[in-house]
Structure 1
């Protein structure tokens, strides 16, 4: 950050010292929500950056948490994905950085490579006018270019935990002993992915005198333990309501079908019902994600897979093609269910039902965002009834049945059978090419007691 820019953009007088008219009640903040970012205490330069990005008014989590973060306090923010929490923690850090710039000023931890890249883009965009340097450190990429980026002493590091620990232990001269701000984003997901021990190690590399912001969709016992280990006397903001609530603009349906006809019904839906619409198809395993994408492409659909066993460049490439509209169907594991900012998704199809209701909420929350309408349709077979009933019970309502004509659906059967043979052969060739690594594509690992663990590896940061 150049000294000329600092002199121009970081006078302490620009920061509003008066705390907002608020009241802390049992850890929740109650106030009259400000209407502008300037009302929250954000300096003019960053307010202009918000406006240039189309952030017209603060979201509830921003309105509640930013004034508290500017009070130099630790903070817990409970808010769902898509609530605008990235700006809620990035803006206070950038404002503090303006007052006293230094290398490695802030560290932001995220559970997946894609979310880390997305946060890094937000830091770059919001901090462009003040010359902020940001490094994104994730698994799946060469460590040498990352070490070079760290040697340039960025102001903010956005990282996945495993790769960050690798650099702290192996990259000469890299340390975080002067870091002023730590953000732990999607804390519940980090802990669900068994990053707890790595987080414990990372905390030992950080100074005790720092500000810590912890953001999570839920407050589990694991998150509470992490809070006690990493935060001091925190303020708490909760924007979450019913954790199983979906937005009113989302239309949700189920389609009860025989398991043997899943592919035929899927083709009927994408070819006849949702043709030309931006669609995410969720599957349970890496194997099925890859197979369904091959299956759809054979039949002429612009489908692209996204799962945790792709290279980082392939994962980002798939996301960018889907976001830009050059591909209108994204076939994905739950690596795409949460945290990613995909602005316009018309339809979500649960080809496979998720194993728990919370994941269902995150999946269908990919559509009907920012006040837009959207549709979610779940394929339910005779093997899925128990899972489906649990989802309905969590939602507190019965979903409507999506009406179809079996005769119209079965018209597609001959072409579907041909495409199934092709996709099976392609998958066999793919696994043969990869040798022993092919077993990973099945999306199944053997865990304790010999039980199969389907999806943990899908979202790994590598």
Structure 2
């Protein structure tokens, strides 16, 4: 059996990549290709269109960066120069676009690859100047900003584009990006290679397949919805009034661990981060309403370990490669089951272990059961238990931290609607404690 395993293991050289790219992989510490890389790269090198499905953290980015760099290098050798605007990669989020560009630059440093990122939140005129001066081989961007440049930046076009890549394709095919994506597809040549990569596959991807892919090879290095074996999952069931107390209980019990806490709204990220800091926990928020510089600043501080808890919306659930996230907490249960897989995919990456904890109350039972159903028909996420008396000991401190945080938000011109909702939450805690005391007195 050991001999069979050794025979089946492949190297990057075995996939058909040139020596320079094999060395680039070695310099990044990539010892052997992942499953999606092993299956996708040979077809890409044959000039096939691809649809790649694999779990988050499985090396999807490398699966499309390496073959496009190989094609770019081959084209430059034939032309005696490297053609600009050769590759375009679309991403649903700014952070993921920046991360993809970093991967291109790291793997293509020895072959002189020039890469430009086009995302919102940055000065468009400055981006136009960089495009004109740098004449990049690779453009990585969000659909809206790329469409803006195609319409408004003089002299910029993608008429010579050879490769179009959609990362997190299912998200890009949502209604949010439909108009921008249609504009881009009209502005680029039909005679090109097209790659779609995602952790989850939807019918919308099939729709795009009919529109712009040519006899694509579908590579499914994972089930439709998959969880890596190294991820431990569990949930706490609690009254809605005690959710903040349970959150503090979980984070305190994992003190020192690197954690990502997913919420539903932008204002929840800001408020929760403030509350947790008042309680002595190192939390920092990130959400789509922050400026690009503030978002990157928060992400870099989290990566550097200045803060060990990142409070985020689903803007951080896709594609971000933060090497050592120990715990993912679902503060709000996502209403769309596939978002759960993207969230928990932030931990247990590249063979490491990780923990995903969901805070489930009486209003979350339906969506939570849908998540279990998508994992497997007979699968049940294990239920964790906590000593509720211990959790209730946190109630007074949590309530006070929320009061102080609310006051800080009001003094800073905060949202009155948020303040009102939080007052109601506080009343719920007090009501719950009052009812519990009444039951104890009856006994």
Q: TM-score, normalised to structure 1's length? A: 0.84
Shift of 1:434: 8.3
Aligned to 1:253: 234
Shift of 1:193: 5.0
Can you list the C-alpha shifts for 1:242-269, whole angstroms capped at 9, x where unaligned? x333222222111111111111121122
Distance 1:434 1:410 in 2: 29
Q: Which has the higher helix share?
A: 2
Distance 2:175 2:206 in 1: 16
Unaligned 5+ runs, structure 2: 1-6, 77-81, 422-443
Matched, 1:157 2:132: no
Distance 2:405 2:175 in 1: 31
Aligned to 2:429: none
Q: Which runs of 4+ in 1 moved over 6 A?
A: none
Distance 1:220 1:277 in 2: 34
Structure 1 residues 245 and 178: alpha-carbon distance in aligned structure 2, compared to 1, 3 A threshold: closer
Q: 2:189 aligns with which of 207, 214, 224?
A: 207
Structure 1 residues 364 and 218: alpha-carbon distance in aligned structure 2, compared to 1, 3 A threshold: closer
Q: 1:126 aligns with which of 107, 111, 123?
A: 107
Matched, 1:54 2:29: yes
Matched, 1:419 2:401: yes
Unaligned 5+ runs, structure 1: 1-31, 443-462
Matched, 1:105 2:80: no
8 Å CA contact retained: 2:58, 2:349: no
8 Å CA contact retained: 1:33, 1:60: no
Distance 1:116 1:338 in 2: 11
Q: 1:239 aligns with which of 194, 215, 221?
A: 221
8 Å CA contact retained: 1:113, 1:138: yes
Structure 1 residues 258 and 434: alpha-carbon distance in aligned structure 2, compared to 1, 3 A threshold: closer
Distance 2:112 2:174 in 1: 36
Can you list the C-alpha shifts for 1:89-127, whole angstroms capped at 9, x where unaligned? 111111111122111111111111011000000001001
Shift of 1:318: 1.4
Correspondences of 1:384-395 after superposition (within 5 Å): 384-395=364-375
Q: 1:41 aligns with which of 16, 27, 40?
A: 16
Aligned to 1:17: none
Equivalences, count: 404
Aligned to 1:383: 363
Distance 1:433 1:351 in 2: 22
Distance 2:215 2:258 in 1: 45
Shift of 1:80: 2.7
8 Å CA contact retained: 1:180, 1:211: yes
Aligned to 2:320: 340
Q: Which range moved further: 285-294 or 217-226?
A: 217-226
Distance 1:61 1:280 in 2: 26
Shift of 1:214: 1.8
Q: 1:263 aligns with which of 234, 244, 250?
A: 244
RMSD of Structure 2 on Structure 1 (CA): 1.9
Shift of 1:192: 2.4
Q: Which range moved further: 382-391 or 107-116?
A: 382-391
Shift of 1:433: 6.1
Correspondences of 1:313-328 after superposition (within 5 Å): 313-328=293-308
